[in-house]
Structure 1
Amino acid sequence: MKSSFFGFLLSVLLLSPGVVMAQCDDTTDCIEKGSWDLGIAFGYGQRTNPIKDFDDIPIYVLPTIAYYGERWFFDNGAIGYTLTEQESFTVNLITGFSSDRAFFYRWDPSNIFLAGSSHSFQQTPFVESKRPVKTESQNIGELESRHFTYLGGIEAYVYNRFGTWRLALLHDLLNVHQGSEGQIKWNYHWGHKELSVDFAVFFDWKSQEIVNYYYGVRPSESAYWHEHYRTENGWNRGLELTARYSLTPAWELLMTARYTQLADTIAQSPLLDEDYSYAYLIGAAYRF
């Protein structure tokens, strides 16, 4: 099994639930079987927060830690097992963090991986929890906790000359919301000398249970909106772009960005004041 070193930028900054895999070739840095990969990216960036009155999420440092064995692997909090690896496709059992909770808690592991277990599970919102969130004609009071959970399921990567496809379906393992989510993603890699560019289009499906748990309104938050806002399953969709320029075998300049158009059922939530979110980081990365 091999993995792209800078896959962590897309799996952490861009908050995908699974590991970002890549077909290894002469233009891609890879982790060989039985090897650890340690690195750190730093610079300036942020992820915008569509939740009303909640701060945007700053991004300054992104660590990476990964290990790939013959079958088992660990990649930035995701634990997986390779069922089959062929020249044109790979199938894994995979686990990963839920990304939706990251809007509500600054120290959610999806925002800053390896922030420390004492921070990762703290119920610390971006703003004072008693600050009301304004709607058109109703107030929403103190928000209840949106708890941490871990997702698990299956993913497949299909490789061809037109790019890489990722197909994944994951379910709540900790029985927090009992929901499922899936992804269809196409990634195209282009490289020339020291410059490497990846472009991706993705569609992320969220079940009604996930949408209701994170973006629905509980009775204690607003009796009015609890009765009038109804959730359903929906598709987020968006674009990703990552550019890297190699300075030395260990150092690279990088720019990575993601735009997400939220599903209509999420955008209609009275907790939100935007129907989109974008994230970016401009800086450098070092591989140990």
Structure 2
Amino acid sequence: MKSFSALALLLGSLFSQAVMAAENTCDDTTDCIRQGSWDLGIALGYGVKSNPLKDYKDIPIYVLPTVAYYGEKWFFDNGALGYTLTEQERFTLNLVTGFSSDRAYFYRWDPSNIFLAGSSQALQQAPIARTTWELTPPIGPLEERSFTYLGGMEAYIYNRFGTWRVALLHDLFDVHNGMEGQIKWNYHWSHQELSLDFAAFLDWKSQEIVDYYYGVRPSESAYWSLNYQAESGWNSGVEFTARYHMTPEWELLMTARYTRFADTIADSPLLDEDDGYAYLIGAAYRF
């Protein structure tokens, strides 16, 4: 199978996105993983992943490791396990698994946040306090949102205008029985030691996913469990990554991601923001 981008998309675990395909050949000037070998790297710097949930803290980012392996068919990349069904010059079709990004807002130690260094304590939420003159009742402590793993199919389409990724994933553990669709376009540009990546994406969440994570249970608020009705919806956003290669091992990097939540998610009484962001500024080392 083709080699895959490694350090170029080192923040794949942070952003919950799969890596994109690169060229077949690998050397010290390219950003790909040699087939049959492990790729290990670590980014050090300062960054933040915002948390739109009320009374939940933003997630600090200081250290971000990456671990990946690509064989002839099987591959592993920061928790995502996959198998290549077919690979052609213009497209690749994979079976793929991965973590859900939604649960990461509720638990600091969720696997989607496992590569984010900082406090080892889980994020805590106190009951949402409101003054007596507010008309809507408060929401109490939240029930558990259980861990699950998503699996399905993804396709990469390559042309001179960039790389397209299309994926459809389903809940493998029957936690919410929901589905998630992903569409992403990425364009890579480089000149000497400078490399830039631009991306735009759409993430579709089924009604089951939205209701499970952002709906309100009767024990949390009898009022809001009746008055908020979850629907399916599309998140949208953009990404930007800049890297400057100092040596074959070291590079400076800056990466950022902005997400606009679907209206049905933004309308949830659990949220106080209708968008989110993540960024990291620092340096990366490739072993």
Q: How many Å separate the matches in 1 of 2:214 and 2:30? A: 38
| Contact 1:23-1:159 at 8 Å conserved across structures | no
- Offset of 1:179 from its aligned partner? 0.5
Runs (4+) of structure 1 exceeding 6 A deviation are none
Are residue 133 (structure 1) and residue 128 (structure 2) matched?
yes
Q: How many Å separate the matches in 2 of 1:9 and 1:262? A: 24
Is the alpha carbon distance of 1:239 and 1:114 closer, same or farther for their aligned partners in structure 2, counting shifts above 3 Å? closer
Q: Deviation per CA, 1:105-126: give whole Å up to 9, x if none.
A: 11111112398xxx8xxxx741
Partner of 1:182: 181
Which letter maps to 1:126?
Answer: L
Which letter maps to 2:194?
Answer: L
Partner of 2:97: 95
Q: Aligned to 2:70, which of 68, 71, 81? A: 68
Q: How many Å separate the matches in 1 of 2:77 and 2:13? A: 10
SS in 2 for 1:210: helix
Partner of 1:221: 220
| Contact 1:7-1:21 at 8 Å conserved across structures | no
| Contact 1:240-1:259 at 8 Å conserved across structures | yes
| Contact 2:81-2:98 at 8 Å conserved across structures | yes
- Offset of 1:28 from its aligned partner? 3.5
Q: Deviation per CA, 1:69-114: give whole Å up to 9, x if none.
A: 1101111101000001111111100000010001011111111239
Q: Matches of residues 121-200 of structure 1 in structure 2 within 5 Å?
A: 125-127=122-124, 129=125, 131-134=126-129, 137-200=136-199
Which letter maps to 1:230?
Answer: Q
Structure 2 unmatched runs, 5+ = none
Partner of 1:211: 210
Out of 143-152 and 25-34, give the one that drifted further. Answer: 25-34
Q: How many Å separate the matches in 1 of 2:8 and 2:191? A: 19
Which letter maps to 1:100?
Answer: D
Partner of 1:12: 13
Q: How many Å separate the matches in 1 of 2:112 and 2:9? A: 11
| Contact 1:234-1:264 at 8 Å conserved across structures | yes
Q: Deviation per CA, 1:115-154: give whole Å up to 9, x if none.
A: 8xxx8xxxx7412x4x112465210001001111100000
Q: How many Å separate the matches in 1 of 2:24 and 2:240? A: 20
SS in 1 for 2:113: coil
SS in 2 for 1:110: helix
Q: TM-score, normalised by structure 1?
A: 0.92
Q: TM-score, normalised by structure 2?
A: 0.93
- Offset of 1:21 from its aligned partner? 1.7
SS in 1 for 2:283: strand
Q: Matches of residues 44-59 of structure 1 in structure 2 within 5 Å?
A: 44-59=46-61
SS in 1 for 2:111: coil
Q: CA RMSD, aligned part only?
A: 1.6
SS in 1 for 2:252: strand
Q: Deviation per CA, 1:192-220: give whole Å up to 9, x if none.
A: 00000000000000000000000000000
Q: How many Å separate the matches in 1 of 2:8 and 2:92? A: 16
Q: How many Å separate the matches in 2 of 1:76 and 1:167? A: 19
- Offset of 1:47 from its aligned partner? 0.7
SS in 1 for 2:168: strand
- Offset of 1:10 from its aligned partner? 3.7
Which letter maps to 1:138?
Answer: P
Which letter maps to 2:258?
Answer: Y
Partner of 1:280: 279
Structure 1 unmatched runs, 5+ = none
